[in-house]
Structures are given as structure tokens and as C-alpha cells.
Amino acid sequence: MTSYSVAVVGALGSGKSALTVKYITRRFIMEYDPTLEDVYSKTESVEGHDLTVNLMDTYHPHMVSTTTSNSSSEDYLRWAGAIIVVYSITSRSSFAVAKSYLELISQFARESSRPDIPVALVGNKVDLERYRTVSRHAGQELAAEYDCHFYETSAAEDYGSVEVVFHELIKDIARLTDQNVVIQPLYISEPATQTTVSNSNGNSHAPLKRTKSPKSADYFRVSSKKDEAKVLPRRQVSTFKLFNKSFKIFN
Ligand code: GDP
Ligand code: MG
């Protein structure tokens, strides 16, 4: 089964964990461990295709600006097939952090072999409209500036507004994968490289690099070693004992 990897980044408290858990379980977790960082998996059907989605819920306590570039906390960039950048519509500072993430991601995209990495900017907590401090227009403008998707969601309300974000990114990754196979048939005849890529990312999407430069070879080899060491074991939905014990689950 094809698998897709999506990382969720954003300021502390913006709702990364709540959105991740909402997508995985369709439930809203109200109390949480803010330092939680883990990879979850969900198998589902998108437009008739059965697939596995691997989701990395991140925790970067020191992410305040692009000056953190090259820190080990950016392994998500190498791991992810697509990235969700979350802010809270009730927090200007989380919006500023989101901008920093978008800048970091676009810098990574320019410098790496993945110029088209799909990104969605997500303004979360729309159920708290009365506390809104970031306008929808400001979100749309920022998304336009970085040429990425834009959504407003609530992890506390309907599942559909959350699901659509993940599904759009999955479709984007699928489109890029297909495109790569069609445009770059040469890649198929390089089994050693392709196997490395597949293992390193834990998914089957091919890299977007059109040529096999030494840089791309290094990139994926390094990524392979790092990911094995850094990425935590996947936790299936059925093993949410942690949450059953210490979280209130709604819905
Ligand atoms: P993280 O640090 O980005 O992972 O943020 P969390 O997912 O842990 O959420 C931080 C706080 O915001 C928690 O108390 C959540 O219950 C709350 N929260 C998250 N998403 C929403 C939302 O969409 N609406 C409301 N009202 N609260 C939310
Ligand atoms: Mg969290």
C-alpha cells in the first residue's frame, strides 16, 4: 500500500497535536502534553485509493525565527512528503512563527532537491472567532506570498474541515509522484538509489530531483541514517492508551 508522510509544525499551543489527533481519531483532545512529538499512522481510502498516512506531530520549543536553520529539529523537512504549518487565529505571535516556518521551508525547498514540496498554511481555532486577532485575509495573503494552500480549521468542531487539509496534501504528493515517474523514467532504472529513498522516508514517493547529482545522493543517504535514528516508532490508533489515561476525549 502506498504511504504518504505529512509533518505538522507551528507555534506551541497553536493546535498541532489537536489537529493531528483529530485527523487520526476524529476526536478532539482538550488536555495534552505540550512536549509530545511522535509519528502516527492511519490507513484510509482517499478517492477510492487505499493508502497509509504517516503523520509527524512536532514540538520545536525554540522555533522563533529562521535563525534556527540547520538545527536537528528540522529533520521533519527531510522526512515529510508535505507539511502543514499551523497557527492559531487567536494568536498574532503564532502567526509570526508560522511565517518563519514558511520561510524556512521555502529556503529548504530552494536549496534541496524538492522545490515543489506541498505546504498548507492552516489558521486553527476558528471556533474561537470572538477572540480572533489574525484576519482570514492576512492568512490568505501570507499563503499567497509563499504559494501554498490556505485553510481555516477547528480541531474542536467538524471533522470535515480538518480532513480536507490532509487529503489535499495527500493528493498533491500523489500528483508529484506520478509526475516524477512520467517525466523521469530514468529514475526507475536506478534501483539502488530508489530503494534508499523509499526506506529513508518510510514512504514510496520518489524525490523530485531530476538529475542524480552528488548532492542529492548525499542528501538521501544522510536522511536515511538520521531518520532511522530520529523518527520515533509509529503509534497506531489502537495504542492510544497514553491518551486514555491522561487526556479528556470529546465526541
Ligand atoms: P500544540 O502545542 O500546537 O500541539 O497545541 P495543542 O494541540 O496541544 O493545543 C493547545 C491548546 O489549544 C489545547 O488546550 C487544545 O485543547 C487547544 N486547541 C487546539 N485546537 C483547538 C481548536 O481548534 N479550538 C479550540 N477551542 N481549542 C483548541
Ligand atoms: Mg503538541
| pLDDT tens digits for range 206-237 | 333 322 222 222 222 222 233 333 333 344 43
Helix or strand or coil: residue 233? coil
What is the spatial distance between Cα 55 and Cα 37, in angstroms, rounded to a whole number?
Answer: 10
Ligand 1 atom 9, closest CA: 15
User: Which residues are registered as beta bridge partners of 5?
Assistant: 54
- Residue 232 CA to ligand 2 centre (angstroms): 15
Question: What is the rounded average pLDDT of the residues 145-150?
Answer: 97
Sign of torsion, CA 22 27 30 35? negative
What is the spatial distance between Cα 120 and Cα 43, in angstroms, rounded to a whole number?
Answer: 21
Please tell me if the CB atom of residue 157 comes closer than 6 angstroms to any atom of ligand 1: no
What are the E-state strand segments in 11-81? 28-29, 38-46, 49-57
Place of cell 530552494: 110
Helix or strand or coil: residue 205? coil
Contact of 61 with 12, CB cutoff 8 Å: yes
- What domain range includes position 170? 2-250
User: Which phi and psi angles does 239 have, rounded to 5°?
Assistant: -105, 30
What is the spatial distance between Cα 131 and Cα 62, in angstroms, rounded to a whole number?
Answer: 26
Q: What is the pLDDT of residue 37?
A: 74
Please tell me if the CB atom of residue 16 comes closer than 6 angstroms to any atom of ligand 1: yes
Any idea what the CATH number is for the domain that residue 44 is in?
A: 3.40.50.300
Ligand 1 atom 6, closest CA: 15
> Which pLDDT band holds residue 168 (cuts at 50, 70, 90)?
very high
Please tell me if the CB atom of residue 124 comes closer than 6 angstroms to any atom of ligand 1: yes
Average pLDDT of the chain, as a whole number:
73
Please tell me if the CB atom of residue 32 comes closer than 6 angstroms to any atom of ligand 1: yes
What is the spatial distance between Cα 180 and Cα 97, in angstroms, rounded to a whole number?
Answer: 32
- Residue 125 CA to ligand 1 centre (angstroms): 7
The count of domains in the chain is 1
The CA-CA-CA angle for residues 81, 85, 90, to 5°, reads: 160
Question: What is the rounded average pLDDT of the residues 110-129?
Answer: 92
What is the spatial distance between Cα 4 and Cα 25, in angstroms, rounded to a whole number?
Answer: 18
Contact of 203 with 55, CB cutoff 8 Å: no
